[in-house]
Each structure stands twice: as C-alpha cells, then as structure tokens.
C-alpha cells in the first residue's frame, strides 16, 4: 500500500459558523463575520504520498510568514475578524519533509486542492516540483478579485508557473472528472467543487483507498451528517460533492481525510472507514 502521512503545518481558528453553515451563504457569512462563537483550534494538514514513482505532496500547508505584518490585507473583513493562525517556522512543510528523510527538491508533484493560504502558503518550498491546480481555481484566486474572495495571490512565489489539471471525462465512481497522477492510475485527482468553485481532491487507491479531501467538509462527522461549511459560495454544489464521497464509500473501502480534522491521522492509522457502522 502507498504510504500516506499527515504533516501538521500549524493550527488555525475559525468561527463556528464557518465549520458548519448557518442558513444561506449570505446569512452564514454574516454569522462568520459578526458572531463571537469561535471553533476550537484546528490542525492545518498537508499530506505526503510516498509512491514508487516519487513523493507526491497534496497541499503545502501554511507558512510562518502568516504572522508577518502586512502578510494579509488588513482591509479584508474576514482576515480581521474571522481567522487566527499559529505557525512556527519549524512547522512549515519543507523542514518537516526533511525530518522525514524527504528532500522537498526531490518532490516531483505537488497537488493543490485549492488556493486558500492555509493550503498554498508553503509553495515556496517546491521550486522544482510540478504544481497542479485546477484552472477555475487559479482564475478565481488571481488578481484583485482573488484578494476580495479571500485568496492571497500577491504571496505566491514569483517563479510559480501553475500546471492546470487536464481533466478527463473518465469517472471515478460518482466523480465524473478525473486525472491520474501516476502511470498506474493508483493516485488520481478528482474535481470536487463546493468549498471553492475549483476545489479538487486526491484519491490514493488500494485495497483500502485514502480520500484526501481538502475542505470538502471540516471533519468526517459533518460529511456523514450532510452538513456543508459556511464559506461555500454554492451550498448545493458542496452538498453534491459530499454526497459523491459517501457514494464512493459504498462501492470501495474509503478513509476520509479532510485538512482540518483532528481525528484524521488516527483514522488513517486505524484504516477507519467512512461507511463503518456506529
């Protein structure tokens, strides 16, 4: 089985209304900005797949530069009132990979589920890697409008030349658009919109498959309950993607790994399945 490891690149705290939507997208955003109810501190996970064709990193986590003055645009209400970070330099993905015996320069492929800073903040560690992202995600995140939407395109490395995922129509279960990241096709990206319009996920397929979910939901309980997050621009699309994960779990053994679920590494170690009973 291909080894999948979690790398915690610090922690984030968001409003409870972001973890689970309250009402319509507009109403939910109001709750996020103005409610005083914070969720617990959550991990920021990136993932490394140790594959015979070379290591594949899924998301790059956050950077300690998030604490620098001016890193975030202070005019943005979400940044001012709805998100807090705790990241130390040694928690960044580059140093952590080196402690695992993996040189970031040897990572052939990096896949970004989406371009929010806690998923793309560590891009600077991978100047020699092919970095995959969906084209709609990149376009939504670029320029001034990208900043308005909560992205930080001005913090991307100047050398970065994104490689757009060339989606094919070959289905992976209920996911109708996919792209194999390995020659064997045992690591595959799937289009999984919702949290952002260009969001994707990565599936490591084996006797027990691992579904690296990005922010489809913030934890497995919400997935099973059919609850979507509070920043999804289209809750129906988010819910359809979540239902597709559950549908896939009916046809194959599946471990579900969102980026901010404290229980994710434990489920991975135990190979605890989405469609378990109880």
Using one digit for the tens of pLDDT, what is the confidence trace for 172-223?
A: 999 999 999 999 999 999 999 999 999 999 999 999 999 999 999 999 999 9
* Tokens standing for residue 6: 């979690």
| 60 assigned to some structural domain | yes
| 54 assigned to some structural domain | yes
Residue 278 has pLDDT above 70, yes or no: no
Half-sphere exposure in the Cβ direction for 70 (13 Å, CA): 1
Mean per-residue pLDDT, 100-123: 97
Q: Give the domain range for residue 86.
A: 3-270
Q: Are 127 and 157 in contact (CB under 8 A)?
A: yes
| 276 assigned to some structural domain | no
| 116 assigned to some structural domain | yes
Considering only CA atoms, which of 7, 8, 35 is closest in space to residue 21? Answer: 35
Question: Can you tell me which residue has the tokens 């003055």?
Answer: 69
**Residue percentage of the chain with pLDDT more than 90:** 87
| 277 assigned to some structural domain | no
Each residue of 222-234: b (16+ CB within 10 Å) or e? bbbeebbbbbbee
**pLDDT averaged over the chain?**
95
| 184 assigned to some structural domain | yes
Largest CA distance in the chain: 49
Residue 1 has pLDDT above 80, yes or no: no
Beta bridge partners of 70: none
| 275 assigned to some structural domain | no
Reported as a single tens digit per residue, the pLDDT across 27-56 is: 888 889 988 899 999 999 999 999 999 999
More confident site: 74 or 194: 194
CATH code for position 236: 3.60.15.10
Task: Specify whether the backbone of 245 is left (phi greater than 0), alpha (psi in -120 to 50) or beta.
Answer: alpha
H helix or E strand, kind and range, residue 85: strand 83-86
Distance of CA 201 to the CA centre of its chain: 8
Q: How many structural domains does the chain have? A: 1
């Amino acid at each position: 089985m291909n080894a999948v490891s979690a790398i915690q690149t610090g922690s984030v705290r968001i409003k409870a209304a972001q973890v689970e939507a309250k009402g319509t997208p507009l109403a939910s955003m109001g709750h996020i900005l103005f409610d005083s109810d914070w969720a617990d501190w959550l991990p920021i996970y990136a993932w490394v797949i140790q594959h015979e064709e070379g290591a594949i990193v899924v998301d790059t986590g956050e950077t300690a530069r998030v604490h620098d003055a001016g890193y975030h645009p202070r005019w943005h209400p979400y940044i001012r009132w709805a998100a807090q970070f705790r990241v130390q330099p040694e928690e960044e993905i580059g140093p952590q990979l080196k402690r695992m015996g993996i040189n970031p320069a040897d990572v052939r492929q990096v896949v970004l589920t989406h371009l929010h800073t806690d998923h793309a903040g560590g891009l600077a560690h991978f100047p020699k890697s092919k970095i995959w992202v969906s084209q709609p995600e990149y376009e939504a995140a670029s320029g001034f409008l990208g900043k308005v939407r909560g992205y930080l395109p001005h913090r991307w490395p100047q050398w970065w030349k994104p490689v757009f995922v060339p989606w094919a129509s070959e289905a992976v279960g209920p996911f109708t658009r996919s792209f194999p990241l390995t020659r064997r096709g045992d690591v595959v990206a799937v289009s999984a919109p919702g949290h952002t319009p260009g969001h994707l996920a990565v599936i490591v397929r084996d006797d027990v498959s691992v579904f690296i979910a990005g922010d489809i939901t913030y934890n497995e309980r919400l997935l099973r309950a059919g609850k979507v997050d509070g920043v999804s621009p289209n809750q129906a699309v988010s819910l359809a993607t979540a239902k597709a994960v559950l549908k896939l779990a009916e046809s194959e053994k599946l471990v579900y790994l969102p980026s901010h679920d404290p229980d994710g590494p434990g489920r991975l170690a135990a190979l605890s399945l989405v469609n378990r009973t109880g």
